[in-house]
Structure 1
Amino acid sequence: AGPPMIRPETEYRILVRSGGKEARAVTTTPKRFTIDEALLINVDTLEPIRNLVTFRDDPTAVFTAPQNQVIYQDNLLETRFQLINVKAYQVGLINLETDSEFVIEGDFLEDEDFENFERKSSSPPLEVTDGNLRLPWFAFAYAGRYVIKVFAMDNNWFDFARSSPENDNIAFGSLAGDNFERPLFHIDGGIGLFGSASVDSIGFVILPKN
């Protein structure tokens, strides 16, 4: 029959029994979340230069449309959306290539630093107050096709992500004051993550500088 449909703004509970012990957790799914626009904006005036084609506009054109061919560090990339009632958002970046070249550069980067860049990464939880979420160029290490996922996080996911050392994409910065000795799990009788998020995606192509 397949997995059940997960509904927005709904409470879900889990109960695990093993060896005479129990673990329990609860999550409330966020409201449905959508990215309204993906734009290239002027680095000086912050005015829109052009809109990118989104999956909602035309899923077949996201990686082929001329407006979605973006030159690395040419102005600024931004997503815009209606805020929903969550504490923070998280960005996941997926480079779909296997052997594309590096575009990232900087005097502070050593040769061994390039060995640590991955084609998948995620941001720490990000506070968004105006519905505009800018994508820092330093988050993009490689040329090629990208899928960007923006997650509106429930409280369990938010606490786990902000307290977990794995979320270390320094390009996005981090929430102030978040220094934890161990992750926050919100599971009674166990450890792990039982959380939920509402997610939407955009896609485009990063081209190397000329």
Structure 2
Amino acid sequence: MKINTFHLFTLLFALLMILGTGCDLYEQDEYRELVQIESYLVAGRQLPVVRITRTLPIDVEYTFESAALSGAIVSITLLDENGGTAEVFPYESGAATGIYIPQDDTHIVEARRSYRIDVTFSNRDEQLSAVTTVPDQISVINDVRESVVYQSDEQLEIVLAPTVQTQNQNVFVFDALALNPTPESLTPFYLAAVNDGDAEIEDFFSNSSGLINEGNFDIMADGTIFLNFPWIGAAFYGETTVVTNSVDRNVAELLRSQEVQLGGSTLSPGEIPNLRYNIDGGIGVFGSISSDSVVTNFLRP
């Protein structure tokens, strides 16, 4: 069943958690304070909030409030096809320190367009900038089954309308948001994790598939994109909102490097690189996403 609401909370929350712990991912004998930007454009939505913080030493407990920075001068610029300025959107301080909101709440983020963020300060010397190209708007066009038997041979199939590619390859992330999560409805893998004390049930209320690259989906002759929702993404039996996200290069590189940090690599600890950021003059992410959502029911075998 197709729904109109875009549920982006899982992916964006995951990214915020990555960035919130970013100060732990630097060698501490080389620690220096860095400015961090967090902002995500979503195709078809209003301009986003921008969060600006500083990194903290490893021996200081991280909270957004303690890391938040005031005095930032923020703007997001819509670029023309030659990289020049098409329109500038100034930002202003929000209700909380470190939160910056657009003065113009009418602009709708345009798919397949590039945007640049610029940040300077009235009370610091740093100058930061970054560019993102918003993925083409995706749309689920098949009649998604209202129910699917968990781990059956027939996976949940998602077919997307043809899109214009804005990077070398399309990269997707599925999010599964359980609509009635209970301990009794956990699927076996996640039930074991909770029972073993390795996780809390709340960790799986919304669950991400990780990156899905072109080797894991098919592009048909007519340009439609055929994806199978991976069973590892289903943490609960029952009614679930399944969100398909097309992510830009900046978000993809951050998630990919995070997978390496968390053990998805054969590299030894001394060889594992820091997270990959796209911010000139600082760290963080200025990225973009397009999404569409459906609802299905994962049935017990």
- 1:35 matched to which residue of 2? 140
Aligned ranges for residues 79-94 of structure 1 at < 5 Å? 79-81=158-160, 82=162, 84-85=164-165, 86=167, 87=169, 88-94=171-177
Q: Distance in 2 between matches of 1:91 and 1:77?
A: 12
Once superposed, which parts of structure 1, at least 4 consecutive aligned residues long, lie more than 4 Å away? 174-177
Contact kept, 8 Å, 2:209 with 2:230, in 1: the verdict is no
* Greater fraction of residues in helix: 2
**1:33, CA displacement in angstroms?**
1.4
Q: How many residues are treated as equivalent by the alignment?
A: 176
Aligned ranges for residues 23-172 of structure 1 at < 5 Å? 23-37=128-142, 51-52=143-144, 67-74=145-152, 75-81=154-160, 82=162, 84-85=164-165, 86=167, 87=169, 88-99=171-182, 101-105=184-188, 109=192, 111-112=195-196, 115-116=199-200, 118-128=204-214, 129-130=217-218, 131-165=225-259
**1:157, CA displacement in angstroms?**
1.2
The TM-score with structure 2 as length reference comes to 0.51
Contact kept, 8 Å, 2:243 with 2:293, in 1: the verdict is yes
Greater RCO (CA < 8 Å, at least 6 residues apart):
1
Q: Distance in 2 between matches of 1:97 and 1:156?
A: 33
Farther-moved stretch of structure 1 (24-33 vs 82-91) = 82-91
Establish whether residue 6 from structure 1 lines up as the match of residue 6 from structure 2.
no
Identity of aligned residues (%): 23
**1:6, CA displacement in angstroms?**
0.2
CA RMSD of aligned residues (A): 3.2
The TM-score with structure 1 as length reference comes to 0.70
Check 1:180–1:121 CA distance in 2 against 1; reply closer, same or farther (3 A cut). farther
Contact kept, 8 Å, 2:175 with 2:209, in 1: the verdict is yes
**1:113, CA displacement in angstroms?**
6.2
Gap runs ≥5 in structure 1: 38-50, 53-66
**1:121, CA displacement in angstroms?**
1.8
Gap runs ≥5 in structure 2: 1-103, 219-224
- 1:55 matched to which residue of 2? none
Report Cα offsets for 1:66-88 as digits up to 9, x if no partner: x5133323332111123541421
**1:141, CA displacement in angstroms?**
1.9
Aligned ranges for residues 162-201 of structure 1 at < 5 Å? 162-165=256-259, 180-201=272-293
**1:102, CA displacement in angstroms?**
3.0
Q: Distance in 1 between matches of 2:118 and 2:182?
A: 43
Contact kept, 8 Å, 2:211 with 2:256, in 1: the verdict is yes
Q: Distance in 1 between matches of 2:240 and 2:181?
A: 12
Aligned with 1:161: secondary structure? helix
